[in-house]
Amino acid sequence: MSNQVDLSPRELQIAQSYAGGATYQKIADTLSIAPSTVRTHLATIYRKLGVSSKLELRDALIPVASAQSNQAVEFPPRPEKPSIAVLAFENMSGDPEQEYFSDGISDDIITALSRSPWLFLIARNTTFTYKGKNVDVPRVAAELGVRFVLEGSVRRSGDRVRVAAQLIDGLTGGLVWSERYDSQLEDVFDLQDEITRNVVASIQTTVHLTTIEEPVERSARPDLTVWELTMRSWHLLYDFTPESYAYAKTLLERALALDPESAEANMILSLINHHIAILGFAKDSRPAMDTAYALARRATQLDDRNEYAHWALGISCWGLLKYDESLAALERAVSLNPNCSLAYGSLGTLLGILGRSDEAIENQEIAIRSNPLDPSIFFRFSGLALAHYMAGRYTHAIEWAERAIHRMPRWYFAHFVLTASHVALDQYEQAAEAVKDCRNILPEICLQDLELVPLKDPEKLNELRNRLYKAGFSR
């Protein structure tokens, strides 16, 4: 009988879960894969171990059971450079409508810190998943693989705001620094800058760091009302629903009426239009694509050092076949902010579209490491699926496509990569099942939707289209 060390880490995890009584569905939910994939893995496990029943499987795993039970949960390693997670500041105003205000201050601090190339920062979409929970800071630091955690609270009353912040060492749980700030509401941007400077100064003993004079570079301070409107719209972007996007457009149009030169408002409105197009929320996607591109261009002209504006420009180019401009914009976003996980992830997707698979995977892995709980992580998973598909590693492509679909069942592109990968492996039964699953969720799906995320190589695009047609998708 073969030894269990021949199993991959994933196979060992599946084997132990199944031997311990977990069902296919439970294992699938835990690993974000399909139950059919669990079944396939188990067939391979049985063959490798030379067993034919669950009882034999359990016996074969006994030598490692005790060792595995004594292992702690596997957390990501801490990077060598100083690392920090900024948790969502607590709204102490007693008014749920003020949540966006406390969130907005947290967002601004995260954005400011993320521009420091010497600092590893966990992205906002991940840290905000702890919002509203009683957190154990050392546990959070271990789960996210960081040394420091910043937490705080915001209390707004009339035209005044009070912010309390504290920086905690995740290794010891000890308080590194804390401060309370009272300010007039119109000075909220100066307040945010002051908090950021103090956080940077408090961890400068970790590295030799000179004082940062201006952590947030703004060519102009937007009106607070514009700031409020854009903060609300930014949050709506991650709802991924037509209704939320329609409401966000209304808010952003109000913001632009107040300040047409707000780079943030132009950028977020570009992102809203891009997602409306790419997620299939418009019968004719081209007007939304053109609008997204024009707004993103406008945002970069208004603030050339806004990494998110360049990110928005980069992704708005895809459906318009502006590959070179997309690459330049996304590389600019990464150079402006080495901690911008969204730019890294989208750069990875673009490199997959261009057929540069190894580079694509490298960038996606950076994005996932810095933003592991991102609500839009299904884009990262499908980007990895595409990269492996383009490289001919179809089994890996299937695995990542299934994980993307598990996170966002409506994401048609992951269904496309999954189906085509099955066809490439001559797994026509699984391909037909994948088409059926896709149509159950998206009854109007057709091959024309490939044009929303088109591959640059015409031969590769035609091959993908033919595989999908062979599996049962209509033209």
The Cα 322–Cα 241 span in angstroms is 27
- Contacts of residue 319, defined as CB under 8 A and 6 or more positions apart, other chains included, come to 277, 278, 285, 286, 289, 451, 452, 453, 454
Write out the residue range of the structural domain in which residue 318 sits. Answer: 220-334
pLDDT at 417: 97
Amino acid at 80: E
Based on the domain organization, do 225 and 256 belong to the same domain?
yes
Based on the domain organization, do 372 and 419 belong to the same domain?
yes
Structure tokens at 135: 């957190």
Based on the domain organization, do 324 and 372 belong to the same domain?
no
Based on the domain organization, do 106 and 184 belong to the same domain?
yes
Based on the domain organization, do 27 and 42 belong to the same domain?
yes
The position carrying tokens 């750069």 is 347
Q: Regarding beta strands 148-157 and 160-169, do their DSSP bridges make them parallel or antiparallel, or are they unpaired? A: antiparallel
CATH number, position 26? 1.10.10.10
Please name which of 325, 377, 321 lies closest in space to residue 312, comparing C-alpha atoms: 325
The Cα 252–Cα 269 span in angstroms is 6
Structure tokens at 27: 């294992």
pLDDT at 64: 47
Based on the domain organization, do 399 and 304 belong to the same domain?
no
pLDDT at 196: 66
Based on the domain organization, do 356 and 378 belong to the same domain?
yes
pLDDT at 70: 43
Question: Is residue 212 in some structural domain?
Answer: no
3-class DSSP assignment, residue 345: helix
Question: Is residue 78 in some structural domain?
Answer: no
pLDDT at 241: 94
Based on the domain organization, do 63 and 123 belong to the same domain?
no
Contact 343, 333 (CB under 8 A): yes
Question: Is residue 211 in some structural domain?
Answer: no
Please list the residues that pair with 180 across neighbouring strands. Answer: 164
The Cα 204–Cα 208 span in angstroms is 6
CATH number, position 104? 3.40.50.10610
- DSSP letter at 151 equals E
- DSSP letter at 72 equals P
CATH number, position 319? 1.25.40.10
Structure tokens at 18: 């199944």
Based on the domain organization, do 54 and 114 belong to the same domain?
no
pLDDT tens by residue, the chain, 475 residues: 444 456 766 778 788 888 877 787 777 766 656 677 777 778 888 888 888 887 788 778 765 444 444 444 567 888 877 789 999 999 888 777 778 778 888 888 888 788 776 678 999 889 998 988 888 898 899 989 998 899 989 888 878 888 888 888 888 888 887 888 887 777 777 776 677 666 655 554 443 333 334 444 444 445 557 878 888 888 889 889 999 999 999 999 999 999 999 999 999 999 999 999 999 999 899 999 999 999 999 999 999 999 999 999 999 999 999 999 999 999 999 999 887 889 999 999 999 999 999 999 999 999 998 888 888 999 999 999 999 999 999 999 999 999 999 999 999 999 999 999 999 999 999 999 999 999 999 999 999 999 888 899 999 999 999 999 999 998 8
- Of 313, 334, 355, which closes a domain? 334
Give burial (CB, 10 Å; 0-12/13-18/19+) of 309.
buried
Question: Is residue 215 in some structural domain?
Answer: no
Helix (H) or strand (E) holding 386: helix 377-390
- Of 293, 309, 334, which closes a domain? 334
Question: Is residue 8 in some structural domain?
Answer: yes
Question: Is residue 74 in some structural domain?
Answer: no
pLDDT at 9: 65
Within 128-202, residue ranges assigned H as helices are: 137-144, 188-202
- Of 140, 172, 206, which closes a domain? 206
pLDDT at 272: 98
Q: What is the pLDDT of residues 39-65, one digit of tens each?
A: 777 888 888 888 888 778 877 876 544
Write b or e for each residue in 414-424: b if 16 or more Cβ atoms lie within 10 A of its Cβ, otherwise e.
bbbbbbbbbbb
Please name which of 153, 171, 151, 150 lies closest in space to residue 161, comparing C-alpha atoms: 153
Structure tokens at 126: 């991940």
pLDDT at 63: 56
Split into its structural domains, the chain has a count of 4
Based on the domain organization, do 344 and 472 belong to the same domain?
yes
Based on the domain organization, do 299 and 254 belong to the same domain?
yes
Based on the domain organization, do 168 and 258 belong to the same domain?
no
